[in-house]
Chains A and B, each alone.
Chain A
């Protein structure tokens, strides 16, 4: 299989992403007077967008008394806020819970959605098209409609206040990812399947050994999106968890505010906790930036 060269499928608008990275011809590189305005605007705006971020990090390193005062740069750099937040709240436990939910959610959604997408894209059986129409319909259904009965199901299973309801739904695939992966699977040449069939490979062997490796970039994009979604999810933990030891970071962080209200809102701790919560996502973003951008581009043209 290793001799097969295969270019990852790109949909029409994805050419935009390539064009973004492509080097422009030399003669267009010269700065024109109107460019000065353009770059001034871009620099000013991007500064405005990043400022809250930089501020957040700098302030979390200031002594608590200076949260709303003092300059932009801390007069005294300190880790105190971070030490305090780890002492005052089970941050490590929350981080662990969030990681468990995110990782289990990612693995299960990638495996299930890709298998289902493979069924819809590459296997002929009666009802295929009609059922795929149902997949699209479920994507448009707002979560609030199914929220209450879903809660009752987990409640019946005794899973309220456990991490199960936060990720196990992913075992059944997710409509949007099924749609996206199906698009990619449709572009794989039938010849590959036919020759594998002649060699006696089963349909599931083809899925595992041929299809999955060929759509790797799309699988990575799905994994990143889902990691982001699970890491940030606030509403599901809010519905299902009420024991602070089971909290995820999102819920734990949100629970601070009510506690801190009585303490006079210790902003420095809140901001330090926000940084801890955000950093892992930023790291993931910088590692997988390319997949992020391409994944978003693909999701935008699905209409």
Chain B
């Protein structure tokens, strides 16, 4: 079957070429650059572990960006999962107009990120925004959403949760794959709704929950557009919305920087963090993720 071998290699050749040029090459190159001082104009100069040492001990902004990113992830990931699952469970119970509701909840997810960012900066505008006008009318405290360093991250979380449509659809599909007779049998045995949720729903959708959790974690650690557009390249008030990728971008492409070596070191730190977090997540997954062997 020589012809098949040749055809096989020809068929995968686009990926293979792209892999070498745009993945493997850059992957190794950025590892190398992370040990150098490199400004594009002059050849890279080997500095050993200097970049990493500077990041961890002498750089004031990197720990700030790291801290902001973690705080954002810790707020965003659980809220994202709970909102998407909660809405999906309501939709799962609905027997009328399900399609209409589903579309309504999904629509924000297709809104371009830059438009979403503007939309929420306008709605949450501390002085004249609709939300604060409403809160003041009710004599409630009106937070400085976009100007108070304490509130900038919740502002981004709100705008990100608004676009939870994809996760909701995944949960909805998973919920509707749960056999309904299981619920009926459990009800007959006297299980209340919380027990049914804990004992049947959660284990049977845990595969999808794991997937949603994985992508939410990775995407929240890579957060960039919201911080950059809702605030600015330096992360708004007191740098409270400066995230790791924004800082990387600033060092690499910001005017007057072009510190490709230093920025590569930031990229590799982030890569290692994502690797560790994902590894821990996979490690613990066997404790709560349940895979059905019988696929009906």
Contacting pair A128 B118 (CB below 8 A): no
Q: How far is the CA of A118 from the CA of B105 in the complex (A)?
A: 35
Asked if B170 and A296 make an inter-chain contact with CB atoms under 8 angstroms apart, the answer reads yes
Residue-by-residue, is A212-249 near B (CB-CB < 8 Å gives 1, otherwise 0)? 00000000000000001001101100110000000001
In the complex, whether B199 has a CB less than 8 A from a CB of chain A is: no
Q: For A189, what are the chain B residues with a Cβ–Cβ distance below 8 Å? A: none
Nearest opposing residue in chain B for A50, CB measure: B104
One of A1-9, A36-44, A81-89 contacting the partner: A36-44
Q: In the complex, A172→B249 CA distance in Å?
A: 25
Interface membership of A263, Cβ < 8 A: no
The count of residues in chain A whose C-beta lies closer than 8 Å to any C-beta of chain B is: 100
| CB–CB B14/A173 < 8 A | yes
Bitwise interface map of A from 82 to 111 toward B, beta carbon under 8 Å scored 1, else 0: 000000000000000000000000000000
**CB <8 Å contact, A171 and B30:** no
| Interface check B22, CB cutoff 8 A | yes
Partner of B170, one of A41, A285, A300: A300
Are the CB atoms of B112 and A232 closer together than 8 Å?
Answer: yes
A253 within 8 A of B: yes
A15 → B minimal CB distance (Å): 6
Q: Is the interface of B mostly helix, strand, loop or mixed?
A: helix
Q: Does B95 contact A (CB under 8 A)?
A: yes
Are A147 and B40 neighbours in the complex by a CB distance under 8 Å? no
Taken together as a complex, chains A and B put the C-alpha atoms of A42 and B90 apart, in Å, by 7
Instruction: Count how many chain B residues have C-beta atoms less than 8 Å from C-beta atoms of the other chain.
Output: 98
**Given contacts A142-B274, A234-B229, are A147 and B252 in contact (CB under 8 A)?**
yes
Interface SS of A by simple majority: helix
A145 with B268, Cβ < 8 A, contacts A49-B105, A281-B112, A300-B174 known: yes
Contacting residues, chain B, for A178 (C-beta < 8 A) = 15
Say yes or no for B99: interface residue by CB 8 A criterion. Answer: yes
A195 within 8 A of B: no
Residue interface mask B253-293, A partner, CB < 8 A = 1: 10000001001100110110010001000000000000000
User: A49-B162, A234-B229 given. 15 additional CB < 8 A pairs?
Assistant: A21-B99, A52-B123, A118-B11, A119-B11, A119-B12, A125-B5, A126-B5, A135-B15, A148-B263, A152-B40, A178-B15, A202-B7, A234-B114, A270-B118, A302-B211
Q: Sample 14 A-B pairs with CB under 8 A, ordered by A number.
A: A12-B295, A17-B173, A41-B90, A69-B128, A123-B4, A144-B245, A153-B25, A234-B113, A235-B224, A281-B112, A284-B110, A293-B106, A297-B173, A303-B214
List of 7 A-B pairs having minimum Cβ-Cβ separation, nearest first: A172-B18, A119-B11, A16-B173, A300-B170, A68-B128, A149-B26, A125-B8
